[in-house]
């Protein structure tokens, strides 16, 4: 890798990281580097300072807090996958994380880094959105909590200010009766999702009581498929009913066209994949 020159700061605490960000003109956080390093390598990013969070131990780890599960921002994907608590209480996170790139990336890339990058083609933003995750953010004026619905603001843009650090993400524990599935459509294992659908479904007496659905790569931000959720709620878990509801997955979506798919194909795919994800989650 031959990036342009930059200064490097290794933070040992969140406070230090925030201070380093505040003191620099144009700084970037290094939180695993799986998105930042390619940008540096291609000289698409020219930060003056790179602040490395790799040694901030307080940002790592997974803990339970009552009916919520809290994942530290610097917890690697591999650590998320290895966690019993995640598997038990946030199985949708586990499923989606298992589809992230390849083993090497999952050992380097972090849960919080991936969310903070706010790439709508990333797998975790749609999951966080569907599960109503809460983002704990620390800036120069202290900590605040941002709901997922307000976190992703535009393409690669989030509610994080330039001198904010994402500390941790808190997710509601899914209780009994919930089924989940992450349906990822991508051409090769390490490629981004052309479309992804994160679905969590609570069944009750053969029908769907409640559904939470997030869409990957269907617009400049991850998309919450609220129209589908409403159509599903209280309805049958039958193929036909689910397909009908899934046809509304394009409501609110603004997919782009790129080398891997034109927008109309994405709009078609998202309906097929939403039905599949919901049926698998409900199955």
Is the backbone of residue 259 left (phi > 0), alpha (psi -120 to 50) or beta?
Answer: alpha
| Beta carbon nearer to other proteins, 87 or 268 | 268
Rounded least distance, CB 268 to other proteins, Å: 7
Q: Which of 135, 151, 178, 192 binds other proteins (CB under 8 A)?
A: 192
Report if residue 160 touches other proteins, rule: CB under 8 A: no
| Beta carbon nearer to other proteins, 141 or 239 | 239
| Beta carbon nearer to other proteins, 178 or 192 | 192
Contact positions with other proteins (CB under 8 A) in 246-265:
259-262, 265
Rounded least distance, CB 149 to other proteins, Å: 29
| Beta carbon nearer to other proteins, 67 or 188 | 188
- 272, two tokens: 């097929």
Residues in the chain: 283
- 259, two tokens: 């080398």
Location of structure tokens 């397909």: 243
Report if residue 2 touches other proteins, rule: CB under 8 A: yes
CA 16 to each of CA 27, 48, 111, 114, 171: distance values in angstroms, whole numbers, following the listed order: 13, 17, 21, 21, 26
Rounded least distance, CB 82 to other proteins, Å: 11
Give dist(CA 136, CA 225) in Å, integer: 24
Q: Which of 7, 42, 48, 88 binds other proteins (CB under 8 A)?
A: 42
Could you give the angle at which helices 123-130 and 91-98 cross, rounded to 10 degrees?
A: 170
Instruction: Tell me the window of 16-24, 155-163, 164-172, 188-196 that interacts with other proteins (CB under 8 A).
Output: 188-196
Segment (H or E) for 7: strand 7-10
| Beta carbon nearer to other proteins, 149 or 239 | 239
Q: Are strands 223-224 and 27-30 parallel, antiparallel or unpaired?
A: unpaired
Contact positions with other proteins (CB under 8 A) in 74-103:
102
Segment (H or E) for 111: helix 111-117
Say if CB 88 and CB 175 are below 8 A apart: no
Rounded least distance, CB 42 to other proteins, Å: 6
Give dist(CA 120, CA 39) in Å, integer: 17
Residues that bind other proteins (CB under 8 A): 2, 4-5, 41-42, 102, 107, 185, 187-192, 194, 259-262, 265, 268-269, 272-273
């Amino acid at each position: 890798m031959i990036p342009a020159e930059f200064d490097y700061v290794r933070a040992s605490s969140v406070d230090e990281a925030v201070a380093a960000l505040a003191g620099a003109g144009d700084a970037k956080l290094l939180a695993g580097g799986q998105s930042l390093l390619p940008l540096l390598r291609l000289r698409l990013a020219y930060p003056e300072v790179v602040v490395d969070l790799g040694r901030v131990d307080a940002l790592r780890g997974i803990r339970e807090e009552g009916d919520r599960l809290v994942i530290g921002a610097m917890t690697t994907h591999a650590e998320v996958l290895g966690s019993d608590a995640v598997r038990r209480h946030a199985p949708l996170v586990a499923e989606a994380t298992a589809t992230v790139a390849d083993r090497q990336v999952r050992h380097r890339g972090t849960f919080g880094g991936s969310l903070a990058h706010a790439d709508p083609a990333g797998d975790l933003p749609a999951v966080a959105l569907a599960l109503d995750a809460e983002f704990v953010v620390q800036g120069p004026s202290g900590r605040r909590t941002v709901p997922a619905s307000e976190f992703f603001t535009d393409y690669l843009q989030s509610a994080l200010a330039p001198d904010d650090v994402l500390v941790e993400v808190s997710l509601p524990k899914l209780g009994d009766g919930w089924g989940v599935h992450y349906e990822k459509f991508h051409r090769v294992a390490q490629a981004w999702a052309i479309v992804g659908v994160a679905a969590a479904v609570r069944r009750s007496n053969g029908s769907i009581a409640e559904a939470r659905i997030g869409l990957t790569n269907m617009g400049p931000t991850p998309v919450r498929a609220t129209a589908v959720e409403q159509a599903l709620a209280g309805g049958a878990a039958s193929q036909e009913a689910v397909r009908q509801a899934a046809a509304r997955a394009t409501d609110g979506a603004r997919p782009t066209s790129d080398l891997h798919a034109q927008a109309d194909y994405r709009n078609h795919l998202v309906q097929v994949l939403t039905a599949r994800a919901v049926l698998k989650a409900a199955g």
